[in-house]
Amino acid sequence: MRVLVLGGDGYLGWPTSMYLSSQGHEVAIVDNMIKRQWEAEVGVEPLIPISSLCTRIRAWKEVSGKCISSFACDIAQNSHLFYKIVGDFKPNAVVHFAEQPSAPFSMISRNNCLSTQVNNISGTLNLMFAIQGLDPSIHIVKLGTMGEYGTPNIDIEEGWLDVEHNGRKDRVLFPKRPPSFYHLSKVHDSANLEFGCRSWNLRVTDLNQGIVYGVNTNQTIQDTRLATSFHYDHIFGTVLNRFIVQAVSGIPLTIYGNGGQTRGMLNIVDTLRCIELALNNPPENGEFRVFNQFTETFSVSGLAQMVQSVGRQLGLSVEMQYMDNFRNEATDHYFNAKHTKLETLGLNPTLLTDEVMRQMFRTVQSYAQNIDINSIHPTISWSHKRAK
């Protein structure tokens, strides 16, 4: 299969590109490296030093004997070049990771909000128009987020909801209550893609992904030049990464609010497998298919307790600190999201065991000299007033 990976230099894009290449697919990457620019703008860096994309591709060829092509293109701004890339490469499928991935980044200012929504929504629209014009049978695998749903007081279905109102029934996209401008951009993506399926007979798999943790895959561990990013900072970092870095650094684990926020999560190796399952089992022409992509649910306080337990097993003194929540989110809420479709296709979940967490601790300890403790504490408020 010929697979074009948009955003293939990123945290998930790069491991996905290597994984698909290792499985015998012909892979090409499209990226404009803007994520590295955003990191520089807000003054944060991944814990593990990341090689340039050219170095990564060369190292992958040395390690595996397999080639990955790459194209430099801003898919949101340069539609002409992007259409040419799609037309020349002639992919069977496009995996779309090329979006600004941070809710806090989108809430910093008006400019950050606009850059997030313009980049994400325009990029997806340009992808849709390219495929509609060149070959509508190309399968779009789009990375969405469970955050699109928010935390409704009903069970979350996989994308669609059967409703009855005033004696009539219909099937509609599940209602969305996103908590940030970033999550809103993903909602717009989903609506646009579903429209493209209805209007242009496109075929789309929308992967509403939970929080991903981990950095080690069978490919990244083969050479340090193949590493992917590990963010723990308050803008691009995720909660489990932050907690483990805080535990290693001797800093109390910062729990926003009462820690009752509950989220779906999955290991990075399961993300790669989910992409593969979606590619190998494409939807019908005109079908907008939604998979809720996570394997377990945890509350923030529950994660903190797990990190504390494993940290203490490793001889670390791990404490917890509750603090004001700068985000506009419910900390006590109902959360029951369905996530059966990928397991039906063959996903065998990798669970967050103590051993998996110990591996993450060991990775962080190996790069502890790179930890910037000043980048951990949140400074961005959803009310648009900076935290003091």
Quick check: is 11 in a domain? yes
CA distance 144 to 136: 21
Question: d(Cα 259, Cα 329) in Å, to the nearest integer?
Answer: 11
At residue 328, the pLDDT reads: 86
Is 145 one of the catalytic residues? yes
Structure confidence at residue 75 (pLDDT)? 98
Residue 257 neighbours by CB under 8 Å, 6+ apart: 322, 324, 325, 329, 331
Options 145, 217, 254, 295, the catalytic residue: 145
Tokens of 332: 């006590």
Q: Does some domain include residue 384? A: no
Residue 381 lies in a domain: no
Q: Tally Cβ neighbours within 10 Å of residue 311.
A: 23
- Whether 369 is covered by a domain: the verdict is yes
- Four-CA torsion 210, 214, 217, 222, nearest 10 degrees: 150
Across the chain, mean pLDDT equals 96
Structural domain contains residue 154: yes
CATH number, domain containing residue 159: 3.40.50.720
Catalytic residue at 182?
A: yes
Single-letter amino acid, residue 237? G
Q: What stretches in the chain show pLDDT beneath 50?
A: 387-388
pLDDT, tens digit (0-9, with 9 covering 90-100), for 340-386 = 999 999 999 999 999 999 999 999 999 999 999 999 999 998 876 55
In a domain, 155, yes or no: yes
d(CA 337, CA 173): 15
N-terminal to C-terminal alpha carbon distance within the chain: 52
- How far apart CA 245 and CA 25 sit, in angstroms, is 36
d(CA 308, CA 85): 48
* Beta carbons of 255 and 70 less than 8 angstroms apart: no
Whether residue 386 lies inside any domain: the answer is: no
The answer for residues whose C-beta is within 8 angstroms of residue 342's C-beta and 6 or more apart is 274, 277, 278, 291, 293
| Cα–Cα distance measured from residue 46 to residue 263, given in angstroms and rounded to the nearest whole number | 23
Helices (DSSP H) in the chain: which residue ranges? Answer: 13-22, 34-42, 53-64, 79-89, 103-106, 110-134, 181-200, 239-249, 268-280, 300-313, 341-345, 354-366
- Please report the pLDDT score of residue 384 as a whole number: 60
Answer yes or no: 334 catalytic. Answer: no
Residue 6 lies in a domain: yes
Helix (H, G, I), strand (E, B) or coil at 46: coil
What pLDDT does 329 receive?
Answer: 87
The helix/strand/coil state of 168 is strand
CA dihedral sign of residues 231, 12, 194, 73: positive
Domain count, the chain: 1
- The active-site residue, picked from 11, 83, 149, 182, is 182
Whole domain around residue 228: which residue ranges? 2-375
